[in-house]
Amino acid sequence: AQRVTQPEKLLSVFKGAPVELKCNYSYSGSPELFWYVQYSRQRLQLLLRHISRESIKGFTADLNKGETSFHLKKPFAQEEDSAMYYCALVDNTDKLIFGTGTRLQVFP
Amino acid sequence: GAGVSQTPSNKVTEKGKYVELRCDPISGHTALYWYRQSLGQGPEFLIYFQGTGAADDSGLPNDRFFAVRPEGSVSTLKIQRTERGDSAVYLCASSLGGVSNEQFFGPGTRLTVL
């Protein structure tokens, strides 16, 4: 079955520390993966997608097919990065499957 | 322009009642999605419309759930004979079409079934 796993419910770091939000997936074939973010009192929004290989707000995510991972990274966390982060995969019926999310807390 | 809107923002109902949840997508977006998000979970796909037709309703949990989009714009998610387990946040998203296009989410409707 196709699945997205985010093993950490909560990740707490201090401002300026590096951040890595883990995402592992199960999918046969070439996956299409996304990171969505939900800031406090705001709606869910797209952060980045692997096909565009972009950096948004200092975040990057690299697809590692060998490890079936798509971890989200930022070298220096900021307080405004505090939010709920969801990894998502397009399944073989063209539906988005979301992980359970990781709450990132960045302390001053 | 305006983003995706959903009404009501909160709905409290009693077990067994019927509820309707409304979604207004971004103008010009042909694709519309409904998701359900239970506490501590990510959004779970329910149904996808392309235009007026339901292209994929495989996520609807049972026949108490139904959704329409009669004119290819506004959509209504209908839940009959609500159960306590239906309590969740119901999210709507729209896009230009195709799952690879960015989905723009609404604020959600929090449904509580007592």
Q: What is the pLDDT of residues B53-106, one digit of tens each?
A: 888 999 999 999 999 999 999 999 999 999 999 999 999 999 998 777 889 999
Give exposure, B47-75, as e/b (b: 16+ Cβ within 10 Å): bbbeeeebebeebbeeeebebebeeebeb
Smallest CA–CA distance, residue A97 to chain B, in Å, is: 7
Least Cα distance to A83 among A96, A101, A98, A61 occurs for A101
**Of residues A93, A98, A100, nearest to B40 (C-beta):** A100
- The pLDDT value recorded for residue B44 is 97
- The pLDDT value recorded for residue B1 is 57
Express each pLDDT in A44-94 by its tens digit. 999 999 877 788 899 999 899 899 999 999 999 999 999 999 999 988 888
Q: Which chain B residue has the Cα nearest residue A42?
A: B107
Q: How many helices (H) and strands (E) does chain A have?
A: 0, 11
Supply the mean pLDDT for chain A.
93
Q: Which chain A residue has the Cα nearest residue B41?
A: A100
Q: What is the dihedral of CA B50, B56, B62, B68, to 10 degrees?
A: 10
Q: Which chain B residue has the Cα nearest residue A87?
A: B42
CB pair distance less than 8 Å for A94 and B56: yes
CB pair distance less than 8 Å for A95 and B45: yes
Express each pLDDT in B17-35 by its tens digit. 999 999 999 999 999 999 9
The contacts of residue B92 (CB under 8 Å, 6+ apart) are B4, B6, B23, B25, B32, B33, B34, B35, B75, B77, B105, B106, B108
CB pair distance less than 8 Å for A51 and B45: no
Smallest CA–CA distance, residue B41 to chain A, in Å, is: 5
In angstroms, the CA B31 to CA B99 distance is 9
- The pLDDT value recorded for residue A95 is 87
